[in-house]
Structure 1
Amino acid sequence: MDQMMETKKHNTNKGQKLNVQPLRTQTDIETAKFFLSKNKMGKRDLLLFLFGINTGLRASDIVVRKVGEFRNTKKPYIVEEKTHKRRKLNLSNLAEQIDEYIADKSDDDWLFPSYKDRSKHLTVNGVYRMFEVLGKQMGRDDLGTHTMRKTFGYHYYKRTHDIATLMEIFNHSSQQITKRYIGITEDEIDNSLDHFSIGI
C-alpha cells in the first residue's frame, strides 16, 4: 500500500524505483550513516536518517517537524498526515543526538530545513534525491524515501517477531501486507529456495 503510493507519487517525477528495499544489515546502516554525514548538510541528513529508521514515520511526516516539538521531551505526540491519527513517538534512544542538534536552534525552526532557504523545510522530493545519491554511493538501485520506514519495520520484526504491533504502527490492513512491505516475505521465499532443487 505504502509502496504503491510511493511508486505513484514518484513515477510522475523522476521514475522512483519500483522495489524499494530496507537496509537489512547493520553494515549497510553504518555505510549509509557514513555517506549521509559527508553531505553538505551532513548533521541534518544523518539525524533525519536516524529519526526515520527509529520511528518508522513516512518522509512526509518527518520533514514537517519543528524544533519545539522535541524540546524537553523524549515522547512527543504528532498527527500523521496521511491517516490523521495521533501517534506518540518514543525517542529515548535518540534523545542525546536530538538535544545536541537543536541546542542552538529556536522552537519555531524546522527540524530539517531546506538547504537553499532555511525558512522552508526539506521536501519529500528532497529526501528522494538524497536517497538517490546514497543509492549510487552504495552501489544500489533499490533505495528510496520508504527505505527508512521499511528499515525500521524490518529490524523491529527481526528483533520482536511482533507483526501484529508493527501492522498497527504502519496502519496496514493485514499482517501479510506488512510482511511484504518490509521485505520479510521476500526473505522467506528466498530462504525456502536456498536448498530447493529439481533434477540436479
Structure 2
Amino acid sequence: MAEVQAIKDDDTIRLIGHLLSIRCNPQMADVWHIGLNLALRISDLLSIRFEDIHDDRLIIRESKTGKLANIPLNTKAREHIAKVRERHPNHVYLFQSYRCQQLKHRPPQPISRRAVSLAFQQVGQELNIALGTHSMRKTRGYFLYQSTKDLGRVMKMLRHSSEGVTLRYIGITQDEVDKDFVSLEL
C-alpha cells in the first residue's frame, strides 16, 4: 500500500470534494467532507451508524484501539450529516451501501473501505497526489498542528501515543521543523 499524504492547502481540499462528487458519486464526497472533520480511521468512519450520533456528538468505540471516541461535531460535520440523513432517512449507516439495498434479505451494510480507496485513488491520480483513505485524518492533523503548533493536541485528537508517529503521520518534516527554528527569533 502506497504512503498517502496530508493535503496541505484549502483549494485542493475543495477540489478533491468536487471531483469525488462528479467523478465518483456524492456519497464519496460526503465521506471526504465528514472524514476531514472527524479525523477517524476509515474503518471507524465507515462503521458510523446514525444511532451513534447524539445531538452534537459522535460516540463510537474505535475498532483498532478499543477506546471510546466521544467527538463533538463541528458545524460543517453536522451540516453534512444532516444532508445525508435528509437524503436517506431510512439508512442505518451514515455511509450505507446502495448495493445492499438491492439485495432483499440482507441487512444494511456500510460502503466498503475498498470502494472508498478506489474512488480516492482515482481522484488522486487525476490530481497527481498520493490520496488515500488516511488522507482525511492526516489532513485534519496537519491543519490542527499548523494552527496551534501544539503537537500534544494533535496527538490527543488522533489518539496517538508517540510524538514521532504523529509528526510522520501529518507530514511534518525535519526541514519544516528547522525552518521554524530559523524563522522564530525571540
What TM-score, normalized by structure 2, do the two folds share?
Answer: 0.83
For residues 129 and 187 of structure 1, the distance between their equivalents in structure 2, rounded to whole angstroms, comes to 32
Deviates more, 1:103-112 or 1:78-87: 103-112
- Quote the residue 2:71 is aligned against: 89
Secondary structure of the 2:173 match is helix
- Quote the residue 2:8 is aligned against: 24
For residues 74 and 161 of structure 2, the distance between their equivalents in structure 1, rounded to whole angstroms, comes to 29
Deviation at residue 107 of structure 1 after TM alignment? 6.2
Deviation at residue 176 of structure 1 after TM alignment? 2.0
Match of 1:179 among 167, 173, 182: 167
1:51-80 Cα distance to aligned partner (Å, 9 max, x none): 11111100000111112323x611121111
2:124 paired with 1:138: no
Match of 1:121 among 103, 107, 110: 110
Secondary structure of the 2:6 match is coil
- Quote the residue 2:158 is aligned against: 170
For structure 1, the 5+ residue unaligned runs are 1-15, 193-200
**Greater helix percent: which structure?**
2
2:25 paired with 1:41: yes
Deviation at residue 190 of structure 1 after TM alignment? 8.6
For structure 2, the 5+ residue unaligned runs are 102-107, 181-186
Amino acid at match of 1:172: H
Deviation at residue 169 of structure 1 after TM alignment? 2.5
1:80-124 Cα distance to aligned partner (Å, 9 max, x none): 110110111121222122112202534652211224223221111
- Quickly say closer, same or farther: Cα 1:139–1:190, change in 2 above 3 A: farther
Superposition CA RMSD, Å: 2.1
The answer on whether the counterparts of 2:46 and 2:95 sit within 8 Å (CA) in structure 1 is yes
- Quickly say closer, same or farther: Cα 1:66–1:110, change in 2 above 3 A: same
Q: Which runs of 4+ in 1 moved over 3 A?
A: 104-108, 189-192
Amino acid at match of 1:22: A
Secondary structure of the 1:89 match is strand
Amino acid at match of 1:163: L
Secondary structure of the 1:143 match is coil
